[in-house]
Chain A
Amino acid sequence: MTPLTFLLRVGRSDDERLSLQGDLGEERRARLARGGARIADAAREATAAGLPFTTADVVGDLRLRVVEMSMVFEIPSLTPLVRMWVVSHESEPVGLPSRMLVTSPGGRVSTRFDAAAFSHFPLVPLDLVVKSGSQVRRCTIPVAGVRNVIGR
């Protein structure tokens, strides 16, 4: 249980906590579906509410077709930085490289997954390249606390 999840329980009945989490989740999905929200804001709210925020949620809420996704796991206390990238591609030509290669001094783990595999990942922190109509966008959501979104 995260500290924030614990705080959410303080002074609230289980019914009220569940209802509150449901409200937060419903509003988040509605906002993302309208397309007017920053993914990071929604992810932060979800984290604060103790809600899971999965890759599948993002893709479903945005009603977008995923062209490429990559997840980055960082261990900042270690030097050199250890990273693992998980990249998924569709074959559709969208001007993106067919393979993403990440080089870190300490080592590298690189693999490829079918897009459906991402529904099993519990957290959203990821680089996301999505296609909506003819638009291709790249979003980056760092792992630690969902700090930022770059280049939306």
Chain B
Amino acid sequence: MADYLGEFEQLVLLALARLGDDAYGVTIRATLIERTKRRPSFGAIYSTLRRMEDKGLVRSFAGEPEAVRGGRAKKHVVLTPRGRAALREAHAAVVRMAEGVVGLTR
């Protein structure tokens, strides 16, 4: 059975796909703000990432502590093959639903 993705989950996965190896809290949030004009909290992003990691859609690993972060390490996040497949399917579903609907595209 395909993994169901909520809207915010899709947005976060898309941010991960864009960012590649540079995906962690700050860059994920910056990408979401830049592209969606929303300002999600770090708490919302972390909760979503944790939920998707539990589902096997993303994988995280700790980086090295950095001075600019007060000696704290980044939590890097990457898409898993399962996450990429779920994202592809979710996007395809939206495209199929939108097909032929008048007034959606500019």
* A and B found bound together: yes
Given contacts A19-B62, A20-B25, contact A25 B46 (CB under 8 A): no
Chain B 26-68 against A: per-residue CB contact (8 Å), 1 yes, 0 no? 1001000000000000110010001000000000001000101
Minimum CB–CB distance for A41 against chain B, Å? 13
Chain A 18-34 against B: per-residue CB contact (8 Å), 1 yes, 0 no? 11111111110110000
Contact A51 B46 (CB under 8 A): no
Query: For the complex, what is the distance from the CA of A27 to the CA of B73, rounded to whole Å?
Result: 14
Report B57-106 residues with CB < 8 Å from chain A CB: 62, 66, 68-70, 72-75
Contact A20 B42 (CB under 8 A): yes
Report A1-45 residues with CB < 8 Å from chain B CB: 12, 15-16, 18-27, 29-30
Contact A22 B46 (CB under 8 A): no
How many residues does chain A have at the interface if contact means C-beta atoms less than 8 Å apart? 17
Contact A20 B46 (CB under 8 A): yes
How many residues does chain B have at the interface if contact means C-beta atoms less than 8 Å apart? 17
Given contacts A15-B62, A16-B50, contact A24 B42 (CB under 8 A): yes
Contact A29 B73 (CB under 8 A): no
Report A44-89 residues with CB < 8 Å from chain B CB: 51-52
Contact B72 A22 (CB under 8 A): yes
Q: Which residues of B contact A19 (CB under 8 A)?
A: 24-25, 46, 62, 72-75
Q: Nearest chain-B residue to A45 (Cβ)?
A: B42
Contact B70 A22 (CB under 8 A): yes
Q: Which residues of A contact B25 (CB under 8 A)?
A: 19-20, 22-23
By DSSP majority rule, is chain A's interface helix, strand, loop, or mixed? helix
Contact B68 A21 (CB under 8 A): no
Contact A23 B73 (CB under 8 A): no
Q: Which residues of B contact A20 (CB under 8 A)?
A: 25, 42-43, 46
Q: Nearest chain-B residue to A19 (Cβ)?
A: B75
Contact A26 B68 (CB under 8 A): yes
Q: Which residues of A contact B70 (CB under 8 A)?
A: 21-22, 25, 51-52
Q: Which residues of B contact A52 (CB under 8 A)?
A: 70
Sorted from nearest, which 3 A-B pairs have the closest CB atoms?
Answer: A22-B72, A23-B25, A22-B69
Q: A19-B73, A26-B68, A27-B26 are in contact. List 4 more A-B contacts (CB 8 A).
A: A15-B62, A19-B62, A19-B72, A52-B70
